[in-house]
Amino acid sequence: MKWYKLIAPAAIGVTVGTLVGKKVRDKYLFPEKVLKQVKNSLKQDGPISGSWILMEVKDYTVDGQTIKAYQGGVTRLENGENTQYLFHVNAENGDIIDLEKL
């Protein structure tokens, strides 16, 4: 068997995999970046003591429209007490879709 019969398909596979991976990465923001944006916008009203975000993009329906979104939460100190919030953020542009006090 000639070596080029193995190398050519492997090179094509790596190239296609790289292009597909880049396309998927470019479509959605990184969840860590989204969480940082949410924390920066919320910490103006009080210090953040904890936060989390699901790393998976999920469908979220608001006003009849289905949006690809990240779900997460923050805990913020308000009036001397910890208050928890649940949020959904648009995975494509980072806009906060909703923020719910728990």
How would you write the pLDDT of the chain (102 residues) with one tens digit per residue? 566 666 766 667 667 666 666 555 567 889 999 999 999 988 887 788 899 999 999 999 988 989 999 999 999 888 888 889 999 999 998 899 999 998
d(CA 78, CA 80) in angstroms, rounded, equals: 5
Q: Is 77 contained in some domain?
A: yes
CATH code for position 43: 3.10.450
Predicted TM-score (pTM) of this structure: 0.69
Q: Output Rg (C-alpha) for the chain, integer angstroms.
A: 20
d(CA 16, CA 20) in angstroms, rounded, equals: 6
Q: Is 96 contained in some domain?
A: yes
- Beta partners for residue 20, in sequence order: none
Q: Is 8 contained in some domain?
A: no
Looking up tokens 């790596």, which residue turns up? 14
In this structure, what token pair is assigned to residue 18? Answer: 């790289």
Q: Is 18 contained in some domain?
A: no
Number of domains in the chain: 1
Q: Which domain holds residue 82?
A: 28-101
Q: Is 39 contained in some domain?
A: yes
